[in-house]
Amino acid sequence: DAGVIQSPRHEVTEMGQEVTLRCKPISGHNSLFWYRQTMMRGLELLIYFNNNVPIDDSGMPEDRFSAKMPNASFSTLKIQPSEPRDSAVYFCASSPTGAGGELFFGEGSRLTVL
Amino acid sequence: GQQLNQSPQSMFIQEGEDVSMNCTSSSIFNTWLWYKQDPGEGPVLLIALYKAGELTSNGRLTAQFGITRKDSFLNISASIPSDVGIYFCAGQRVRDNNDMRFGAGTRLTVKP
């Protein structure tokens, strides 16, 4: 079975450019999460969706970040405009209802903003 | 910011040694989980704990949910080189509400 699929795996961009990260959750999973991982701050929850509806976006750093989930099989995390401090690995994870906390992570998208 | 305090930050051990790491919080958590992250990969669940005092094993791994609900530990016995990676504790204050918080991680290095 396919796991959580993220793209791109690596992106290098210049400050001010728009960045879009994509995620396809595991089929049948009702919840989707976006995390950011840095050496300084570890794994931070940015936003999560239940049944395509954003539930908690309090972790989104600022208005430059936005996330959408137009359907059960696709989500995007957009940064516009990007800044060097946004450089990090961004993980998408999905979970079925009642999973008791087990998240299935993608391989991550490593973003470098120059 | 982080709500879970995980220690140690890193460990360097010889193959065959046992390892212990723990996680504490000022808040009560109703679910504690331990994940492992290999280089270039996302974290993978190792053990999940749902009841205070629960002790659970998964092969050479043993984890416990603290009685106070504010802490958990993970032990690895007889470490092997493939145990190398970053170990994260994670917790939910309300089970299944999907608000999962992670500790800062323990980076484990095992010398053959």
Residue B81 has pLDDT above 90, yes or no: yes
Is residue B31 within 8 angstroms of chain A, CB to CB? yes
Count each helix (H run) and each strand (E run) in chain A, helices first: 0, 11
What are the pLDDT digits (tens) for B3-15? 789 999 999 999 9
* A106: nearest CA partner in chain B: B42
Measured CA to CA, the distance from residue A57 to residue B97 in angstroms comes to 14
Give B31's contacts in chain A (Cβ within 8 Å).
100-101
Look at residue A100 in the predicted model and tell me its pLDDT: 66
Using only C-alpha atoms, what is the Rg of chain A?
Answer: 13
**pLDDT range class, residue B100, cuts 50, 70, 90:** confident
Residue B2 has pLDDT above 50, yes or no: no
Measured CA to CA, the distance from residue B108 to residue B83 in angstroms comes to 7
Taking an 8 Å cut-off on Cβ atoms, the answer to whether A42 and B96 are in contact is: no
Q: In this predicted model, which residue has the larger pLDDT, B65 or B1? A: B65
- Report the residue from A33, A43, A50 with minimal CB separation from B88: A43
Question: For strand A109-113 and strand A10-13, is the pairing parallel, antiparallel, or unpaired?
Answer: parallel
Taking an 8 Å cut-off on Cβ atoms, the answer to whether A41 and B1 are in contact is: yes
CA B5 to chain centre: 11
Least confident of A21-25, A28-32, A39-43, B42-46: A39-43
Nearest CA distance, B39 vs chain A (angstrom) = 10
Taking an 8 Å cut-off on Cβ atoms, the answer to whether A56 and B92 are in contact is: no
Least confident of A2-16, A31-45, B88-102: B88-102
